[in-house]
Amino acid sequence: MALHFDEAEYAARRAALTASIRARGLDGLLMFAQESMYWATGYDTFGFCFFQCLAVGADGRMALLTRSADLRQARHTSDIADVRVWVDRADAGPVAQLADMLADLGLLGGRLGVEYDTHGLTAKNGRALDAGLAGRGELVDASDLVPALRVVKSPAEIAFVRKAAALADDAFDAAMAEIRPGADEGRVLAALQGSIFAAGGDYPGNEVIIGSGEDALLCRYKSGRRILAADDQLTLEFAGVWRHYHAALMRTVVVGRPRPRHVELHAAALDALAAVETAMVPGRSFGDVFDAHAAAMDARGLAAHRLAACGYSLGARFTPSWMEWPMFYRDNPAAVVPGMVLFAHMILMDSDSGTAMCVGRSYLTTTGAPEPLSRLPLALPVVG
Amino acid sequence: MALHFDEAEYAARRAALTASIRARGLDGLLMFAQESMYWATGYDTFGFCFFQCLAVGADGRMALLTRSADLRQARHTSDIADVRVWVDRADAGPVAQLADMLADLGLLGGRLGVEYDTHGLTAKNGRALDAGLAGRGELVDASDLVPALRVVKSPAEIAFVRKAAALADDAFDAAMAEIRPGADEGRVLAALQGSIFAAGGDYPGNEVIIGSGEDALLCRYKSGRRILAADDQLTLEFAGVWRHYHAALMRTVVVGRPRPRHVELHAAALDALAAVETAMVPGRSFGDVFDAHAAAMDARGLAAHRLAACGYSLGARFTPSWMEWPMFYRDNPAAVVPGMVLFAHMILMDSDSGTAMCVGRSYLTTTGAPEPLSRLPLALPVVG
């Protein structure tokens, strides 16, 4: 067992967890989100791709039900004492074994919170859960219980986030050293991700976004790498990741001579980022942050080229995405409070002229202005 | 739009898809699995982390509902003509917009297959789907429809799998060049994954499994890298990935002098792999393959040290896992047929002595014996 935080940190988390379970009038929580399990116990795996449940009682008792391949994983990475294994069989699902485990914990028949809003519980498994436990207690959606506890980071977590942010900055430098006319995107990606791995960092919750030419206007990963032209644009959106804690960064790098549109959009992106920073303070909402971004861009006539969201919370996150709630979109009432780690991305994609320009970085919120976690300059990066 | 296969390939897939939809008496299929969308249209994204649905009618008409960040992604990577965007709002979910889209396609009120068994549809979104479409047609679980079509690969797909297999072999060589007493696992991972990226390959569906010392007994990724000791063991389970098609490999590498138990378990693993190869032929089932593996190991008294599964099908797969159905586990009646790509991993983890020994490789099934897709020798890899 090798935990990444000390005993006191986990004790504080578990006290907050059980207090929250009790405050909601629940007898226990059925965790399906790997993020919740990792936060509460250190349990670190991608075994959530199969049915897996960590049941926690209001009194703090817990037991994990997982597949055989994760038995040792739980023992090596978490402090969960009670780990049970369900076995693949053509004729039986794991929910019956879950019910047995809940009975042992004294939770069967009780009022149980369920994490339905997670990739750790597919719709199929959710239906099996609802059917298998029907009439054997009350199931309540409690998907937001642990995220509400996770969204404000402890000092120990902030130290990991700072490490992740340093990995991100270093990874950008490693990528820049490979970017030039004629360079292969694949080598840029190898340098960027390799820099993070070599320093002990992790895979990101989603693939690094890398695209050039027309594909610089994309903000998702796609298969198929390209050779950079003499005049080109390369969009990179990535995260330094330390102990699964993310610090994201985004830049569009210009190769060769910047087009006037690049310069124009870059100025607009910086304007919007500055506006976002003024709104990223206690007393304001996530919707306010989005509005600041949208107003700055729309005032420059760029409404058609921006997205309907401009960032989100970050934390210790597993695939398929590093994006966490709350997100910066219109009318989101979630409040900005100190100790959050928030990624703000100013994305301008002008399909008419085929021009991309993106600037984004992560912040730690404070009682006043947010602290940027990146040491990188915001100036337009130009190579060659 | 840059598709990875030619028009005829997609036309054949879509013909098979609509024939299967009609054969099941369905009016259409609601796809939520990114694997299905990629297979049918080329659509390549991790945007399935949010609500997203590709609706396909029995007549082949289709439309995609996704978020704004994926509008261009769909246009650049797929041949889907009708792409619609739902917008994040505090007060509205996307299912109402899905119902509108189904009405436009003439599918609302019909008998529709749904992919419930995928990480592309969380339990929460599945419940919203069921509630939002209740009384407006019949929903039938059709999660297995596309997987049944995808499991046998076309010649064009097999060419991609061969490319992926070559990337895996090269990645192992790159890793071996970094493995030595005192080496940092992080640098080994950087070399392995960097080799795949530099050659134009993709991220794997799940993280590369890398663990040494006691953690060589794990078969999942975990955060936290280690320095190799003078006498050590390092388990690597990874995949070469080309256009998202996977070819997996697994080895435990011994650093320094192999323990007698390493040698003993390696011989058992090779025995089991040979037994598996004799069962991986048309006329046999996936359960038969598992039984061959288990019998070989159990005859050597190793029942306590093996897993309850010994491999699975591979294909073009997205996070959180590259593992596909069918899997090799007891009593699985799925039939082995020619043209499958199957990964067989012989995993022996002896917790009593702290010894790991794993050997695995991917195969193309034929009308006779399976063809190994790796050029690597099966001999125990020893370094230093």
What confidence tens digit (pLDDT) does each residue in B135-172 have? Answer: 999 999 999 999 999 999 999 999 999 999 999 999 99
The pLDDT of residue B93 is 83
Of residues B88, B118, B197, nearest to A122 (C-beta):
B118
From residue A291, how far is each of A117, A287, A303, A309, A323 by CA, in Å?
26, 6, 12, 10, 19
Contacts of residue B224 in chain A, CB cutoff 8 Å? 2, 4, 200, 243
A155-383 to CATH, choices 3.30.565.10, 3.30.70.360, 3.90.230.10, 3.40.50.300: 3.90.230.10
The pLDDT of residue A213 is 98
Helix H or strand E segment including B85: strand B83-86
Domain boundaries, chain A: 7-150, 155-383
Contacts of A279 (CB under 8 A, 6+ apart): A288, A289, A291, A292, A336
The pLDDT of residue B87 is 82
Q: Do domains B7-150 and B155-383 have the same CATH topology?
A: no
What is the distance in angstroms between the Cα of A364 and the nearest Cα belonging to chain B? 23
The pLDDT of residue A89 is 67
Contact A201 B186 (CB under 8 A): yes
With CA atoms as reference, the chain B residue closest to A3 would be B224
Q: Euclidean distance between the first and final Cα of chain B, in Å?
A: 49
At B65, the pLDDT band (50, 70, 90 cuts) reads very high
The pLDDT of residue A218 is 97
Smallest CA-to-CA distance from A44 within A347, A341, A317, A326 is with: A317
Contact B311, B328 (CB under 8 A): yes
Report ipTM (2 d.p.): 0.98
Structure token pair of residue B232: 């050590």
The pLDDT of residue B361 is 98
Of residues B70, B198, B207, nearest to A220 (C-beta):
B70
Question: Cα–Cα distance between A208 and A234 in angstroms, integer?
Answer: 13
Mutation target for B interface from A39, A43, A46, A290: give the one with most B CBs within 10 A.
A46
Determine the Cα angle at B128 with ends B125 and B134, to 5°. 140
Query: Between residues 178 and 237 of chain B, which touch chain A (CB distance below 8 Å)?
Result: 184, 186-187, 189-191, 193-195, 197-203, 206-208, 214-215, 217-225
Contact A218 B47 (CB under 8 A): no
Contacts of residue A73 in chain B, CB cutoff 8 Å? 218-220, 222
Question: Cα–Cα distance between A365 and A290 in angstroms, integer?
Answer: 16
Question: Cα–Cα distance between B189 and B212 in angstroms, integer?
Answer: 12
- A76 and B CB contact within 8 Å: yes
Question: Cα–Cα distance between A203 and A242 in angstroms, integer?
Answer: 9
Question: Cα–Cα distance between B26 and A13 in angstroms, integer?
Answer: 49
* Maximal C-alpha separation, chain B: 68
Smallest CA-to-CA distance from B211 within B202, B200, B220 is with: B220
Can you list the alpha helix ranges (DSSP code H) found in B89-122?
95-104
Indicate whether B88 pLDDT > 90. no
With CA atoms as reference, the chain B residue closest to A330 would be B89
With CA atoms as reference, the chain A residue closest to B225 would be A200
Contacts of B55 (CB under 8 A, 6+ apart): B28, B29, B30, B31, B62, B63, B64, B65, B98, B101, B102, B105, B107
Mutation target for A interface from B46, B235, B245: give the one with most A CBs within 10 A.
B46
DSSP structural state of residue A376: S
With CA atoms as reference, the chain B residue closest to A227 would be B200
CATH 3.40.350.10, applies to B7-150: yes
Of residues B67, B127, B243, nearest to A116 (C-beta):
B127
Neighbours of A128 (CB within 10 A): 20
Residue B283 burial (10 A CB sphere; 0-12, 13-18, 19+): exposed
Contacts of B135 (CB under 8 A, 6+ apart): none
Least confident range from B85-99, B239-253, B290-304: namely B85-99
The pLDDT of residue B2 is 83
The pLDDT of residue B240 is 99
The pLDDT of residue A92 is 67
- Specify the length of chain B in residues: 384
DSSP structural state of residue B68: G
Contacts of residue A122 in chain B, CB cutoff 8 Å? 116-119, 121-123, 126
Question: Cα–Cα distance between B64 and B98 in angstroms, integer?
Answer: 9
Of all residues in chain B, the percent with pLDDT exceeding 70 is 98
Indicate whether B222 pLDDT > 80. yes
Cis peptide bond prior to A381, omega within 30° of 0: no
Contact B90, A332 (CB under 8 A): yes
Question: Cα–Cα distance between B345 and A335 in angstroms, integer?
Answer: 49
- B144 and A CB contact within 8 Å: no
Contact B127 A119 (CB under 8 A): no
- A71 and B CB contact within 8 Å: no
Angle between helices A185-198 and B185-198 (to 10 degrees): 170
Of all residues in chain B, the percent with pLDDT exceeding 90 is 96
What phi-psi label fits residue B253: left (phi over 0), alpha (psi between -120 and 50 degrees) or beta? beta
Distance of CA B151 to the CA centre of its chain: 11
pLDDT in tens, B255-281: 999 999 999 999 999 999 999 999 999
* Series of mean pLDDT values for 10-residue runs along chain A (384 residues): 93 98 98 98 98 98 95 97 86 88 97 98 98 96 98 98 99 98 98 98 98 97 98 98 98 98 98 98 98 98 94 98 96 97 98 97 98 98 95
Structure token pair of residue A203: 């895979």
Contacts of residue B351 in chain A, CB cutoff 8 Å? 72
Contact B232, B361 (CB under 8 A): no
Smallest CA-to-CA distance from A383 within A176, A223, A240 is with: A176
Handedness of CA B228, B232, B235, B240 (dihedral sign): positive
The pLDDT of residue A80 is 98
Of residues B88, B318, B329, nearest to A88 (C-beta):
B329
Contact B241, B202 (CB under 8 A): yes
Question: What is the Cβ-side half-sphere exposure of residue B65, based on CA atoms within 13 angstroms?
Answer: 24
Query: Between residues 21 and 60 of chain A, which touch chain B (CB distance below 8 Å)?
Result: 32, 44-49
With CA atoms as reference, the chain B residue closest to A316 would be B223
Strand A311-313 to A324-327 pairing: antiparallel
